[in-house]
Amino acid sequence: MRRSTQRARRLVLGLFITEALHPFKVFKTAGFDVDLVSETGTYQPDWLSQQKDWLPAEDRAVWEDHSSEFRSKVDKLLKPSDINPDNYGLFFASAGHASLIDYPDAKGLQLIAAKVFTNGGIVSAVCHGGAIFPGIIDSSTGKSVITGRKVTGFTTRGEEEEGVLDTIRSWNRPTIEASAASSGATYVSPAGPWDAFTITDGRIVTGANPASAHVTAEAAVKAFNTL
């Protein structure tokens, strides 16, 4: 398949803007066609991700330009029923805290990711995007695609520093570290909660936090190119 017709899967649920935008830029630079999909075809931007400290001027310009390719695709999100998973070789779950609520029940997205994995493609997630992994089942084992693998994601220490750990518990949702453990994966923490950090284990590529979105997407492209 020619690079011009290859596609990378980008997901938007509880959108932390740069965790979607930075990978989008990486995938486009690498020559991928990129579609944006959510479980419902709708999204809610993460409030924090719209603040100055998290949305630099260059990124804000793209976000606020509804004619930009990225924003126009966000404004016209697809639903799982709109696409054929067989047309995709890379699934990338972006995040935001709302992903801890949304992704565990996102059966349509989970089935797309499972199909991409079964077909020999790459499944990747950054930050809280790892909340989707318990529901992505490897058809050859009947277990999560991350069972027995090393993964990373947003740290419990980071949740504590943000003062949101009790809130997450009130949602009755696990942290990313707990979610990985429940799936039989080995969680690997970055040196610090906000340090850029990514891990590739076979066809699973994960990143730790918003600062990791760019390098995680680059690692996903690298993994794809070795297929």
Query: Is residue 166 assigned to a domain?
Result: yes
Backbone angles phi, psi at 90, to 5 degrees: -145, 125
Query: Is residue 193 assigned to a domain?
Result: yes
Backbone angles phi, psi at 52, to 5 degrees: -55, -40
Query: Is residue 4 assigned to a domain?
Result: no
Is 214 a residue of the active site?
A: no
The one catalytic residue in 128, 177, 214, 218 is: 128
Is 160 a residue of the active site?
A: no
Percent of the chain having pLDDT more than 90? 85
Is 128 a residue of the active site?
A: yes
Q: Which of 40, 62, 190, 218 is nearest to 127 (CA)?
A: 190
The one catalytic residue in 39, 127, 214, 218 is: 127
Query: Is residue 154 assigned to a domain?
Result: yes
Q: What is the domain-level CATH number for residue 140?
A: 3.40.50.880
3-class DSSP assignment, residue 160: helix
Q: Which of 131, 123, 120 is nearest to 177 (CA)?
A: 131
Query: Is residue 60 assigned to a domain?
Result: yes
Instruction: Please tell me the distance from the alpha carbon of residue 76 to that of residue 80, in angstroms, as a whole number.
Output: 13
Query: Is residue 105 assigned to a domain?
Result: yes
pLDDT confidence of residue 96: 87
pLDDT in tens, 24-35: 999 999 999 999
Question: How many domains does the chain contain in total?
Answer: 1
Query: Is residue 220 assigned to a domain?
Result: yes
Q: Which of 184, 202, 79 is nearest to 133 (CA)?
A: 184
What is the span of the domain harbouring residue 221? 17-225
- DSSP class of residue 78 equals B
pLDDT confidence of residue 91: 98
Q: Which of 157, 147, 143 is nearest to 202 (CA)?
A: 147
pLDDT in tens, 80-94: 999 999 999 999 999
Task: Give the model's confidence band at 47: pLDDT under 50 very low, under 70 low, under 90 confident, else very high.
Answer: confident
Query: Is residue 5 assigned to a domain?
Result: no
Task: Give the model's confidence band at 196: pLDDT under 50 very low, under 70 low, under 90 confident, else very high.
Answer: very high
Instruction: Please tell me the distance from the alpha carbon of residue 164 to that of residue 9, in angstroms, as a whole number.
Output: 29
- DSSP class of residue 14 equals S
In contact, 9 and 90? CB cutoff 8 Å:
yes
pLDDT confidence of residue 18: 97
